[in-house]
């Protein structure tokens, strides 16, 4: 598809992968809106990259409805939804509380569900649309201390498969992206800081891959892909 003059919405867009995706789409000519919960940081990012912003919590149903409605009110359409908002929690099973699991699922699972639901209404009505869900290589294989995070990405992968099958008949392309380790603040915020590395992935690699997938002619699409560092060692 041609990205120029499309209207795109990226959740969790104030930094990291979300910001890189937003910047890449703006470069291609998209009219961009980013979302996040912290207004000051969100506003600063929006001013720096030249996007609109909406302060919202993806895990709140009223916020999800308001977000999509505001984009439609301003632009009259929505072409691309990128479900990027999410966070990590890495603890052994016996140290993970139900409250922690529930809070993480609210953002990582229920958030994409709510945003996809609202966007899908519009996509179905228009007979086209693009949905990109950002999962993780943790969605491909379970590992120790990832009960919460890994299972949330497995859930997102499963929902994506269901939405893909359901929405294809409406010319809606639903794609899943599984980034490997990316050098952002994600790990540090999850309590597992990483040393900087010039061989690990940057957010730009993920954004470039997404732009490439979106540019595939509308008669076909890339259902799912993973992005790994070539030689991270």
What is the mean pLDDT for each group of 10 consecutive residues in the chain (233 residues)?
98 97 98 98 98 98 98 98 97 98 98 98 98 98 97 98 98 98 81 81 97 98 98 90
pLDDT of 185 = 82
Domains in the chain, CATH or no CATH each: 7-227 (3.40.50.720)
pLDDT of 233 = 87
pLDDT of 188 = 67
87 is catalytic: no
- Tell me, rounded to whole angstroms, the distance of Cα 61 from its chain centroid: 17
CB-facing half-sphere around the CA of 205: CA atoms within 13 A: 18
SS3 174: strand
Catalytic residue among 149, 154, 163, 186: 149
pLDDT of 6 = 98
The order of strands in the sheet holding 7-10 is 52-55, 31-36, 7-10, 80-83, 129-134, 172-179, 224-227
pLDDT of 193 = 73
What does the alpha-carbon distance between residue 1 and residue 190 come to, in Å, rounded to a whole number?
A: 36
pLDDT of 140 = 97
């Amino acid at each position: 598809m041609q990205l120029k003059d499309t209207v795109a919405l990226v959740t969790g867009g104030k930094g990291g992968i979300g910001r890189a995706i937003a910047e890449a789409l703006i470069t291609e000519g998209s009219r961009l809106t980013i979302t996040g919960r912290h207004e000051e940081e969100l506003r600063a990012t929006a001013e720096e990259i030249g996007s609109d912003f909406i302060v919202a919590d993806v895990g709140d149903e009223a916020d999800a409805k308001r977000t999509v409605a505001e984009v439609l009110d301003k632009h009259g359409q929505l072409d691309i939804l990128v479900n990027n908002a999410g966070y990590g929690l890495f603890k052994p099973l016996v140290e993970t509380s139900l409250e922690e699991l529930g809070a993480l699922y609210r953002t990582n699972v229920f958030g994409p569900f709510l945003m996809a639901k609202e966007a899908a209404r519009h996509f179905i009505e228009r007979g086209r649309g693009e949905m990109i869900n950002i999962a993780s290589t943790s969605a491909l294989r379970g590992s120790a201390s990832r009960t919460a995070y890994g299972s949330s990405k497995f859930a997102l992968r499963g929902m994506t498969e269901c939405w893909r099958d359901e929405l294809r008949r409406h010319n809606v392309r639903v794609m899943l992206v599984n980034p490997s380790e990316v050098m952002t603040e994600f790990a540090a915020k999850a309590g597992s800081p990483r040393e900087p590395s010039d061989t690990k992935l940057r957010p730009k690699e993920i954004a470039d891959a997404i732009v490439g997938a979106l540019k595939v002619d509308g008669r076909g699409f890339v259902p799912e892909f993973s992005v790994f560092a070539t030689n991270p060692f």
